[in-house]
Amino acid sequence: MNSRLMALFAALIAIGQPAMGSATQASTPETRPMNTPPSMSRPPAPTVKPVVHDGVRYEQDRTDERQGDQMGGYLAAVDAKSGARLWRLKVYELPARGPGTPTGGGRHFRSMTLLPGGKALQIEDEAGVRYEVDLARRTVTLTSGAAPDAPRAPAPPKPKPE
């Protein structure tokens, strides 16, 4: 190789790799080795502030997979003074996990609002589905969107070429 070609080759290598201690080195993203399997990760669940009404604090309850809980969808009523749990309610059912179903997802509350009159909460999940919880009866009504465990509609057939 002639010296000009070698100098060009060295310059191209130097452009692709920042010098030691340079500012660009710190901002270079890390790369995983090729043998590292992909991970099933999701952003953290949204932070939903509890709603306090008539001495009761309503909050999204943590799940406990050891007890067979699904990943999200639980509402707890807690005495605002003592902190004692009064009751717990599953607001929505998530599809069962099985072969081919992601295991790390879950679906949590996106928002929780006390409705006018103070007799019900409106809860919206991360998929945008809304539910109304009657606080006296501890019943849930789907108010908008498709239930998370509802079967998906089949895709429409592809048009035939003419």
Whole-number pLDDT of residue 67: 75
Stronger pLDDT, 41 or 56, i.e. the higher one: 56
What's the mean pLDDT in 93-113? 73
* CA dist., res. 91 & res. 117, Å (int): 20
Assigned domain for 101 exists: no
Within-domain flag for 116: yes
Mean pLDDT calculated for residue range 126-136 = 95
Q: Is 46 part of any domain?
A: no
Higher pLDDT, residue 65 or 132? 132
- The closest alpha carbon to 109, from 154, 46, 62, 162, belongs to 46
What percentage of the chain exceeds 90 in pLDDT? 41
Tell whether 98 is covered by a domain: no
Average pLDDT, the chain: 76
Strand residues in the chain grouped as ranges (E): 51-53, 56-60, 74-79, 85-90, 109-114, 120-125, 130-134, 139-144
Pairing between β-strand 56-60 and β-strand 85-90 as defined by DSSP bridges: unpaired
What integer pLDDT is reported at residue 69 of this predicted model?
A: 82
> Looking at residue 122, which CATH number applies to its domain?
2.40.128.630
SS3 76: strand
Domain region containing 116: 51-92+107-144
Average pLDDT over residues 19-35: 45
* 149, part of any domain: no
**Is 131 part of any domain?**
yes
Is 56 a domain residue? yes
Q: Which residues, 6+ apart, have CB-to-CB distance to 155 below 8 Å?
A: none
The tally of domains found in the chain comes to 1
Residue 34 domain-assigned? no
